[in-house]
Amino acid sequence: MTSPDPDRKPLTQIISVLSVSPAAEDHFQLQEILSSPARTLYPDVTFALTARRTVSAAAAALRRNRVSLVVCEYDLLPGSWTELLDVAGRLPAPLPVIVTSRTADERMWAEVLNMGGYDVLLKPFRSEEVIRTLNAAWSLWRHRFQCQAVERSQIAGGNAA
């Protein structure tokens, strides 16, 4: 058995975040937070942000690109955050959807969770809250994705017998 190479760096895993908001400052603020040195709890993980201003553009990006998380403004017009929740939920590996708002309260939080959203972030964004929420959502998504992969391989293995 060979010993690990001390000079070899671990492969960096990229968490692809789709930010959906008509406000350019939302995308800018998230990019600033996600590119900061304290951006993740995992040293071999980095965030990549893709910004879209409309529901239709975001839905197209979800269908075309590999995305891990969706951060979406509550007030999207035309369309709504629930449309993105539906699109994200229909993907082979359903994505966590985090809703943002300047007027978030308990009622909105309950609505988002009851509809199947992951969480609500209050704007303006607080760096530590964004990092905590995105890391937790990604960990959940990764766990579910890995469980689905194991389940699929067990089904395929069972069919081969």
The answer to whether 118 and 72 are in contact (CB under 8 A) is no
- The CATH number of the domain covering residues in 13-144: 3.40.50.2300
Which of 33-37, 48-52, 139-143 ranks highest by mean pLDDT? 48-52
Could you tell me which residue, 4 or 84, shows the higher pLDDT?
84
pLDDT single digits (tens) 72-127: 999 998 889 999 999 999 998 899 999 999 998 999 999 999 999 999 999 999 99
Measured distance CA(11)–CA(81) in Å, rounded: 34
For residue 96, what pLDDT is reported? 95
Nearest partner of 74 among 99, 109, 110, 106, judged by Cα: 99
83: tokens are 């449309």
Q: What is the phi-psi region of residue 153: left when phi exceeds 0, alpha when psi lies from -120 to 50, beta otherwise?
A: alpha
Which pTM was predicted?
A: 0.83
* Residue 152 C-alpha from the chain's centroid: 23
Please state the φ and ψ torsions of residue 77, each to the nearest 5 degrees: -135, 135
Measured distance CA(99)–CA(109) in Å, rounded: 9
Cβ–Cβ contacts within 10 Å for residue 140, how many? 13
- Please give the order of strands across the beta sheet that includes 13-20: 45-52, 13-20, 69-73, 97-101, 119-122
Q: Look at residue 109 and give its three-state secondary structure.
A: helix
Q: Indicate whether 43 pLDDT > 80.
A: no
Measured distance CA(84)–CA(114) in Å, rounded: 15
